[in-house]
């Protein structure tokens, strides 16, 4: 499995919001186990999608100097299920944090306008160059934004 | 990748508590892209580990006649940046359970130190299940061969 839970970043307003998409495919490895003969996108994978979208938000807002690591979930509600074939539209926005060293966000995921996840979560920023090749990550961001020029 | 975040069940006490373990290795699939310069276990995986293990306690406590799907987690702490190469001891407790849903809490220790905690998790129950299938899966996944089950 490629642990990449965002397929497309559709919108970024630095300081405000990032929006993206995760398409749930029957070929996802996790659907074999979650659940046997009853494939449902795991709620935790929706939370990971929001976490990764937050990473892209912080990277794109910092000229790819920072990435986000989750350390706390204040609350995450899971509504109904996301099934294979569903397109989950995701968005993350920063919210207030009492501790200035901690970043807080609210994330939402919907399928056809119906709520699937709403999560308030927190974490810290880590220098991107400590965990990823920065140029490679920039290029992948362009792929997700569909900004790569055809050669 | 197998989406199973416990390797064994060490103890279970019907309607009360469960303990199990998961060893995180460098061969975990998710580490290929999380991340390329440093292998860090994703924080949400600990949530899944706690949810899966406690979920089995609920299923076991209801004699495999239902399945449990996470519908809310609250007040969760996870370690953001642990490198693989450790064994997580996973603990879960049922606070209340009914035919309809269950409330519980869970935590993870490494070498006796609490590294993750989930103070509130709610599961919705699903009743369209095949109890024998669930029982077989549980024996296989848990490694427990002598589960006593009143309705077996």
Nearest-angstrom CA–CA distance, B138 and B147: 9
Nearest to B55 by CA among B112, B108, B101: B101
Question: pLDDT at position B150, please?
Answer: 47
All structural domains of chain A with their residue ranges: 8-142
Which tens digits make up the pLDDT trace of A101-118? Answer: 899 999 999 999 999 999
Which residues is B24 bridged to in the sheet?
B86
Query: CA of B60, closest CA in chain A: separation in Å?
Result: 16
Query: In this model, does residue B151 exceed pLDDT 70?
Result: no
Nearest to B107 by CA among B88, B123, B92: B92
Question: pLDDT at position B147, please?
Answer: 52
Nearest to A6 by CA among A33, A60, A45, A62: A45
Query: In this model, does residue A79 exceed pLDDT 80?
Result: yes
The token pair at B102 is 């269950």
Nearest to B121 by CA among B57, B55, B59, B67: B55
Nearest to A1 by CA among B49, B80, B82, B2: B2
Q: Which residues of chain B make contact with A77, given a CB cutoff of 8 A?
A: 71-72
* B41 DSSP 8-state letter: B
Q: Is B34 tagged catalytic?
A: yes
Say which of A42, A44, A76 has its CB closest to residue B72: A76
Mean per-residue pLDDT, B112-134:
97
Average pLDDT over chain A reads 95
Query: In this model, does residue B73 exceed pLDDT 50?
Result: yes
**A8-142: CATH number:** 3.10.129.10
Nearest to B42 by CA among B27, B31, B29: B31
Instruction: Tell me which CATH homologous superfamily contains domain B8-142.
Output: Hotdog Thioesterase (3.10.129.10)
Confirm if B82 and B94 have CB atoms less than 8 A apart: no
Nearest-angstrom CA–CA distance, A133 and A139: 10
Say which of B70, B72, B80 has its CB closest to residue A70: B80
Q: Which helix (H) or strand (E) holds A7?
A: none
Burial pattern B37-67, b for ≥16 Cβ within 10 A else e, equals eebbbbbbbbbbbbbbbbbbbbbbbbebebb
Average pLDDT over chain B reads 94
Instruction: With cut-offs at 50, 70 and 90, classify the pLDDT of residue B72.
Output: very high
Query: In this model, does residue B1 exceed pLDDT 80?
Result: no
Q: CB contact, 8 Å: B47 with chain A?
A: yes
Q: What is the ipTM score, two decimals? A: 0.96
Which tens digits make up the pLDDT trace of A26-51? Answer: 999 999 999 888 999 999 999 999 99
Instruction: With cut-offs at 50, 70 and 90, classify the pLDDT of residue B146.
Output: low
Say which of A30, A45, A132 has its CB closest to residue B36: A132
Lowest mean pLDDT among A39-53, A64-78, B21-35, B137-151: B137-151
* Omega within 30 of 0 (cis) for the link into A132: no
Question: pLDDT at position A148, please?
Answer: 77
Q: CB contact, 8 Å: A143 with chain B?
A: no
Burial pattern A117-138, b for ≥16 Cβ within 10 A else e, equals bbbbbbbbbbebeebbebeebe
Question: pLDDT at position B148, please?
Answer: 54
Query: CA of A104, closest CA in chain B: separation in Å?
Result: 13
**Residues B61, B65, B67, B73, CA torsion sign:** negative
* Omega within 30 of 0 (cis) for the link into B34: no
Q: Which residues of chain A make contact with B37, given a CB cutoff of 8 A?
A: 129-133
Question: pLDDT at position B143, please?
Answer: 92
Q: Which of A10, A17, A30, A34 is catalytic?
A: A34
Query: In this model, does residue A151 exceed pLDDT 60?
Result: no
Query: In this model, does residue B152 exceed pLDDT 70?
Result: no
Q: Which residues of chain A make contact with B73, given a CB cutoff of 8 A?
A: 73, 75-76
What is the number of residues in chain B?
A: 152
All structural domains of chain B with their residue ranges: 8-142
Query: CA of A3, closest CA in chain B: separation in Å?
Result: 5
Q: CB contact, 8 Å: A29 with chain B?
A: yes
Query: In this model, does residue B50 exceed pLDDT 70?
Result: yes
Mean per-residue pLDDT, B68-94:
97
């Amino acid at each position: 499995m490629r642990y990449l839970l965002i397929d497309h970043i559709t919108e970024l307003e630095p300081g405000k919001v990032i929006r993206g998409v995760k398409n749930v495919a029957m070929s996802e490895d996790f659907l074999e186990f979650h659940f046997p003969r009853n494939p449902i996108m795991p709620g935790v994978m929706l939370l990971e999608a929001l976490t990764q979208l937050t990473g892209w938000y912080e990277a794109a807002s910092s000229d790819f100097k920072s990435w986000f690591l989750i350390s706390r979930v204040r609350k995450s509600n899971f509504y109904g299920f996301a099934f294979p074939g569903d397109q989950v539209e995701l968005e993350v926005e920063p919210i207030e944090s009492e501790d200035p060293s901690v970043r807080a966000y609210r994330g939402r995921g919907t399928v056809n306008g119906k709520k699937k996840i709403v999560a308030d979560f927190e974490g810290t920023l880590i220098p991107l160059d400590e965990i990823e090749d920065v140029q490679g990550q920039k290029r992948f961001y362009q792929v997700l934004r569909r900004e790569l020029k055809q050669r | 990748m197998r989406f199973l975040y416990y390797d064994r069940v060490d103890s279970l006490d019907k309607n009360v508590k469960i303990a199990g373990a998961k060893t995180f290795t460098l061969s975990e699939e998710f580490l290929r892209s999380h991340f390329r310069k440093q292998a860090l276990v994703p924080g949400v995986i600990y949530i899944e580990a706690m949810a899966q293990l406690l979920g089995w306690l609920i299923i076991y406590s209801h004699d495999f006649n239902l399945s449990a799907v996470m519908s809310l987690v609250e007040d969760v702490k996870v370690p953001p940046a642990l490198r693989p190469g450790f064994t997580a001891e996973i603990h879960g407790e049922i606070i209340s359970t009914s035919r309809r849903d269950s409330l519980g809490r869970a935590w993870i220790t490494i070498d006796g130190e609490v590294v993750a905690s989930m103070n509130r998790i709610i599961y919705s129950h699903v009743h369209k299940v095949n109890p024998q299938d669930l029982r077989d899966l549980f024996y296989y996944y848990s490694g427990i061969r002598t589960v006593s089950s009143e309705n077996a």
